[in-house]
Structure 1
Amino acid sequence: MFDGKKLYQSLSLLGSLSLAFTIPWIVFKVCRAIHLKRNYNALLGKVVLITGASSGLGEALAHEFYKQGCQVVLCARRRQELERVRTELLQTHPTVPTIPPIVHPLDLSDINTLPSHVDKILAVTGKIDILINNGGISHRGSVLATQPDVDIKIMLTNYFGSAALTKAVLPSMIKNKSGHVVFISSIQGLMALPERSAYSASKHAMQAFSDSLRAEVAIHNISVTVVSAGYIKTELSRNALTGSGGKHGEMDAATESGYAPGYVATEVGRAVVQKKKEILISTLVPRIGVFLRKYLPSVYFYVMEKRAQKHSF
């Protein structure tokens, strides 16, 4: 009987302790959900410019922000595909109380024309609240086999194009004392892989540019978010440039098994409303790679050497 009583008292104590932790946790989760909902509501009526919006992650981002009541400005080179995305937005979200999407073709690599594009967009929308630098191209090829023109083209689109567009948008954000700039980088901006030198270099540059920008514009109430994503199941690998400048034309196995664009877009949306400075969207193995590069570089270098010797992408 005595042992039974002690057991009952122990279970009662355990239950009380569990309840003491559970109730605050539930309250925290409810308060957090309410706060997050309020933040999402603040997106209503925001003007969101998205580059690379004609397919893949850019298209998913258009759906994510449009369904939150934003006016999305769809930018990419292919007008026909942008029109398709616009039509699908209107058909998929017919009850969303927002202004119809705007289609505005542009080429990120033509950096000298980007300010005039921004002026034209502002003439229509009056403001740009959120800029999402998503457009870009990837690369497959060794350093030795990659022509300098390919390095230049990838850097021009992925880094210089995004930087130039950001600089063109910033004056209006500063004038409004509000804004948010998002850079869709890559986990390869945190650690470089063999056969990806041009792409990794462009994303490394984007990371550094973002850090400098974030510090400089904080005084103007402008936020900067960097999204370091792992593999996403898009056409990025098919459209990647080879060392000679042609298209890779294949869906890599890692890309094929990557995250769905819609999932990544949702995470980006959450990061924006929470004003996070950076997020990492990746499975365990790439996260380990980032950890090794930062804290155990000698191990990382060894692993990358072995990877390079296999001549695998």
Structure 2
Amino acid sequence: MTSIPSHMRAWIYSEYGNIEEVLKFDPNVPTPHLMENQVLIKVVAAAINPVDYKRALGHFKDIDSPLPTAPGYDVAGVVVKVGNQVKKFQVGDEVYGDINEVTLDHPKTIGSLAEYTAVEEKVLAHKPSNLSFVEAASLPLAIITAYQGLETAQFSVGKSILVLGGAGGVGSLVIQIAKHIFGASKIAATGSTGKLELFENLGTDLPIDYTKENFEELAEKFDVVYDAVGQSERALKSVKEGGKVVTIVAPATPPAIPFLLTSDGDLLEKLRPYLENGQVKPILDPKSPFPFSQTVEAFSYLKTNRATGKVVIYPIP
């Protein structure tokens, strides 16, 4: 491996505000120091998420890490150094993960939109052999959110599900995981007209064009509604008696269950067979990947809420 530089290139913001305005390229950021339970990753690709721009706005500043910060949760890259307590990885391993175990509580000051990031062993997994770094980077936060959200809703074989926002990063994985891992009896999903073909390709039984019909007016009700867009009040009208609504967009209308993931490398390892056999596929937005130099443009695009699947930054120098 090449020697690790003392300084690196990263995207940094030093004040809270709209991420397109406060995020600046910095060619001279100190490379993170390694703790005993961490590995240092040479970042190859990183996905961006709504939590990045909400954090930049200062929504969580009471529990945020001190500024300046390099955003980015999802990472795929190569291990270049390991702490003394690390057992699962060695230098040269290709890994991926959501680098912050608890999403909003003091996330890392140096995230994945940097050449290097230092990450705890327990939130990382070996990159599935059939996936590119771009595909792998698109998965961790979204696939863990999808899986743990279904667990939270006590979803199980034979149950029906309605996915609100089925074409997004999380929703597209909820459809696949509900079908291939949990054994859903029926899957419905909402999206705009152009997303219906994707739903059919993912195995959705009932694609719903939200520009033409209101899902809550359907006669059919579902065992679980997975709300990935922030419509929990409407979602409650579509759930069977005794069913559950889980939402990943605050605020949640009771009794809808608000849900936030806990990053977990072991879960990524558990899902690896489904990724390697192609039952669960990463869904990348057609504009992905954006080059590192166009990270600000990538955030502008993500904020339109028009992305299909995930927006990924690659290559990272």
Q: Normalising by structure 1, what TM-score?
A: 0.33
Higher relative CO (Cα under 8 Å, sequence separation at least 6) belongs to 2
Name the one with the larger strand percent. 2
Name the one with the larger helix percent. 1
**Rg (Cα) greater in structure:** 1
Q: Normalising by structure 2, what TM-score?
A: 0.33
